[in-house]
Amino acid sequence: MAASSDTERKRDAHPGWMQTLVRLANRVSVGSAWAFQIGVALTVAVAVAAMLVLLDGASWLTALGAGAIALLPALLAGGAALHLARALAQSSMQRELLMVDDELTGVSNRRQFLRLSEREWARCRRYGDDGALLLIDADHLRKINDSMGQRCGDAILLEVTRRVNATLRQSDLLARFGGAELAVFLPHTDPLGALDAAERIRQQVASAPFHWEQAHVVATVSVGVAHVHMGQASLDGLIQDAESALQAAKEAGRNCVRAAPIQPRRSGETKSVTS
């Protein structure tokens, strides 16, 4: 999905007063909101009655009757405001749940990637299937941002994403994991296949310089590879393995691939190989 423009984000944004109303609706319970509303309505009714008595000299009986009449519109207005706030809060929550793509790159965002990868990881563990995770870091992107500007860095990250995606299968999951990092889950992929996929990605990104205005920018990636195995208690274990491998690639000078040790993926296997 294409990234949203600034104009579209401004169009979809709620006015400030509406956002405040939504925040208040989220912070208080329905009972507290109604109690507050009734209190405000009663205050309005008493104020109307007092004004009639003090300013027009009306009797308290007449004034209280007028106040009671004013009470109904106040309750209706408060109820409408409460309903609007609740509806907006629910709409905001639904919109956040439906946002599954990263705005800049157009690929899945971290939340969507974790949701889908959790399912794939669990399937691999349950059936003893192969699966692997790649963490990809765009090398020195912060320096590029500092020297050539944020727009240049964004353009390079977008092109890196495009080049990575060009090497993947339809079944592979690609996402922006955060900052300059991308993540790829490779189902039905053994450790050697994952290393091969990571090396193809590294070569594809480094194959040609990136063009930005009148400049040619050389950009590379470091890749950490981890394989699903029995020692991982959760998807977090697989991510930690890939993060350790990515850190090793950075320490090795970047623009390279490093893999976590290969562990048994089924109970009873004893092979353990460090790549």
**Pair of tokens at residue 31:** 């009972």
Domain count across the chain: 2
Same domain, 121 and 243: yes
Does 132 or 45 have the greater pLDDT score? 132
What is the pLDDT of the chain when averaged over all its residues? 80
Say if 18 falls within a structural domain: yes
Q: Which amino acid is present at 139?
A: D
Same domain, 137 and 92: no
Range of the structural domain that residue 246 is part of: 110-259
Band of pLDDT at residue 35, cut at 50, 70 and 90: low
Q: Which amino acid is present at 51?
A: M
Q: What per-residue confidence (pLDDT) applies to 210?
A: 92
For residues 125 and 101, give the distance between their C-alpha atoms in angstroms, rounded to a whole number.
27
For residues 260 and 109, give the distance between their C-alpha atoms in angstroms, rounded to a whole number.
24
Average pLDDT over residues 120-146: 95
Taking only the tens place, the pLDDT of each residue in 172-213 is 999 999 999 999 999 999 999 999 999 999 999 999 999 888
What's this model's pTM, rounded to 2 decimal places?
A: 0.65
Q: At what angle do helices 150-166 and 141-148 cross, to 10 degrees?
A: 140
Say if 274 falls within a structural domain: no
Average pLDDT over residues 65-93: 62
The secondary structure of residue 131, as a DSSP letter, is: E
Say if 271 falls within a structural domain: no
Same domain, 248 and 133: yes
For 246, residues 6+ apart whose C-beta sits below 8 A from its C-beta are 135, 136, 137, 222, 223, 224, 258
Q: Are 226 and 259 in contact (CB under 8 A)?
A: yes
Does 241 or 47 have the greater pLDDT score? 241
Same domain, 92 and 117: no
Q: What per-residue confidence (pLDDT) applies to 127?
A: 92
Same domain, 21 and 93: yes
Same domain, 121 and 228: yes
**Pair of tokens at residue 192:** 């050697």
Q: State yes or no: pLDDT of 164 exceeds 50.
A: yes
Average pLDDT over residues 79-95: 61
Say if 179 falls within a structural domain: yes
Say if 231 falls within a structural domain: yes
Taking only the tens place, the pLDDT of each residue in 251-263 is 999 999 999 998 8
Q: At what angle do helices 30-56 and 60-98 cross, to 10 degrees?
A: 150
Same domain, 28 and 154: no
Same domain, 148 and 201: yes
Average pLDDT over residues 63-73: 61
Q: Are 152 and 212 in contact (CB under 8 A)?
A: yes
Say if 88 falls within a structural domain: yes
Q: What number of other Cβ atoms are within 10 A of residue 231's Cβ?
A: 13
Does 159 or 95 have the greater pLDDT score? 159
**Pair of tokens at residue 17:** 């007063």
Same domain, 94 and 133: no
SS3 227: strand
For 160, residues 6+ apart whose C-beta sits below 8 A from its C-beta are 136, 138, 182, 205, 219, 221
